[in-house]
Structure 1
């Protein structure tokens, strides 16, 4: 009998996966330095935990031999609490120039702005990283890659306001683009010396050898110096631009634009009642998901009334009649309306000619007896009002036969418009006294007493 032994050989293949080495900023690496090019870089919590409270750790990351002498840190995730700070120094110690500082409220490393790199002026090529935390609140920290490469020239992304449409504008230091629903935005970036301030020191940079990467804030991105984008949903969006040159150097300064998109524009305007020149309107806007309605209503009236009959004022201070009135009646204000403030009175005007302004005084009197002296009698000052006729027609005679009138000029008192002074001062100066220009609002006369006495 033959016995046959069967031997089965099972071959199990082993595949070796190469994995990046890791380094963390913690108590074991504090105040040390080393070459960690190609390492994954974490905070003291490592890849799975938060960093701790009351920490102040720093370490120096060194570059490789030439030409890859300069360190770059590329952040994949970043979460540093607002009251903690990550400092990055441009050199081999914390005494080196501060390159940047970061937390969730101050220049967070996200939205396409994920790279920090040693500058062209940094001869060592090293970066020193320091995390300083307080006694409360922590975060997940960071997950980054340490890269070593050639020296980089600076890249400073800037918006091309001329070729961006709609045109961006600045509010409180931030750039905004406002659009209506359905509009498409054209984003354009500059590629001049302000974007590449160190151009041609080591190599050449221009739009043709750089990648312009836009992050639109709605989950979409695009590459190009000029791109267009359409937002499907009404809201606000943060747009970021990063530029990478042909040496792999990335802009470390962030270009941030805020897009504000309004819903459907105004489609209905409810007209106001009949308006007159100078009337004011109150505008109220209401909206529903499909439209905005604007309703207008009158809330104030500006009325002008006049007394248009010539009043003759005799030449003489001793006439029996000492006061001459020109009553003006306003009929267009609502019943019970009163003067609420002196600014309710825009101007009080006369059109007259007189050969000796110092002979006159002027007072405005309300129906309830309240009054204001606009110009008091001083019996001095010979300046004319208007083009006066100096003919002596007889004292105390009202409009005597054969006495021709001169040409009246308009003079207005106002506390709103610029004045040329009190009439009692003007009557001793230029003659005739300059007339008021009611169109250009110049040469008004200052009331001698405040118009607040007419309130009520």
Structure 2
């Protein structure tokens, strides 16, 4: 027997050709019950009296005994590949060599369809090994049967049973495991028929691996997927199990970490968000087909031949509920004599249905090679279907010539297949009862109704969102986000650190993704200003060090006032200027280290920029009352300056003057101008003017006494105000006798006569001022003043004393 396993979703299966070929001259292999008596032999077909050409006769009563030709341990078995007894017809059976007493079996209808009857069944002690059959029929001729007779016990299929454990713990199916995880499969609970032992253990793990080492095996799966593990056993009667254990193993798919933060390059001191995303990958089963090998069936009338398919894709326990659950049965066939064939489909629990039970005579199936000289040359097969919906009769109903390709009714009712498991071994059995003909079955299948096929196996391992299912581990984690998936890290120092994101799914499989974080040192920046502002832009220079070559530095400048003009910048420095200040300002530069995974890594520095205030002069000045002949110092009023100043003096009459100091000495009436400038490169300046007026000064007092004794006090005749007035009067001195004793023009308060010149006495003086515009009454004197022209004359006494005491 050859079987093939179909994994996934198969709507039908195709099996290689069944070859039916004549190898020997024909001899009678059909033994009819009508022969009567005792028949001793093995390997033939037990049939009704109509043989394979027709039905049993009506109103008959036949009895016949069949014995094995084995003297030792005699046993005989009847396998009814077809048995359809009409209403009122009965087969009686005795497990002995005579029809004595109550029969051991009474069968009607389809009771014997696909059934084995053997001489030692039901623990009966039957020393002869013989079986006796009796057939009685009523008036209708509608019974027929074909039984394959052998001298061996029939196959009583063992039953496979498997318990699955992991580390000693019994698991339920479907079992969810991880790739590489070992599973222990225990088939010791499998059973064989009484008095038989399980001879072989064949494990099929559905991943291409098999194991025939024994009932207990260990296996692991290298790839994710859905695997339907089966155990096929054969007992020491060469009987395989017909059941499927259907241990579905779901092997977890890998965990996808797509969306999880990958390797980072960040800077120390900066907080960074790290995201963990773990999701199971969906597995979706894909149908595949594994075709079995060819099967050669000779033209042998001593036995039937079969081919099997093992279906595994249906849900466990799923059965044929009604005939409509099968769309059709298919066979591609060629044969030269339809009348000697029986074709039966057998389901996994042993139930069977004969779609053709002989009849039809020499009707061709397909285009056979009808030449006994070339019996093994295949002809052309036709596609033949049997469907519960067909209405055009059976093969026999359409006999004659060549049976056309098409869909036909089954010879037996479809209800015989109701309750059949879908999963398991389905078999097509062909019996060729006559010789001198041959044929080939090229392929066949059972086509189930599409809705019976289960959906593809689809599963997605699930991963919880809390810390017990997925989490990060590593240094400098400052916030676990509450679920340990989206965290924040704040590295405190430079270095290379590993962070591992671990996820465990509901299969119990743990996977991880490693992120390498390269932490660059926190940047530092220095900022200097070239000087204070003094009307020209002040240069600013920012510098930093040790920036990695794959990173970039962005520079940003800010000021509290003024006009800031950024210059160029690179990974080590940047420049700017500040201008237009009205008051001191603070300038700040911020460097942002970018590149790698660094979006923002900041360092800043601030420098104050003061002012060298430009000179601010007072208002223009007007100077009057300066006495002709006096010097006057012009000194502009200036606040203190921290910057060198330059002075430029000029006047209306003198133009630019040579003086460059901060003061100018003048003695003449004029308009004087001063411009105060900041020394280069500063450009601040201011200017003001002085309206200077010199004129005669007022005579304050004309004395009437002085002491020219060279004691340093009052030694000269001094007219108060005369020195500053620039009037220069004429002085005439007379003694008491009217003699002129001294005369001096443009007197300047210098007359100090000694004793030889004038003695101590009282004298009289006359002072003539040619030009005097001030009020005369303001002059203090002890004489007499009279206005004369533009001036005045003073006449009064003057006492000269030598001794102040």
Same fold (TM over 0.5): no
**Structure ranking higher in strand proportion:** 2
Output the TM-score relative to the length of structure 1. Answer: 0.35
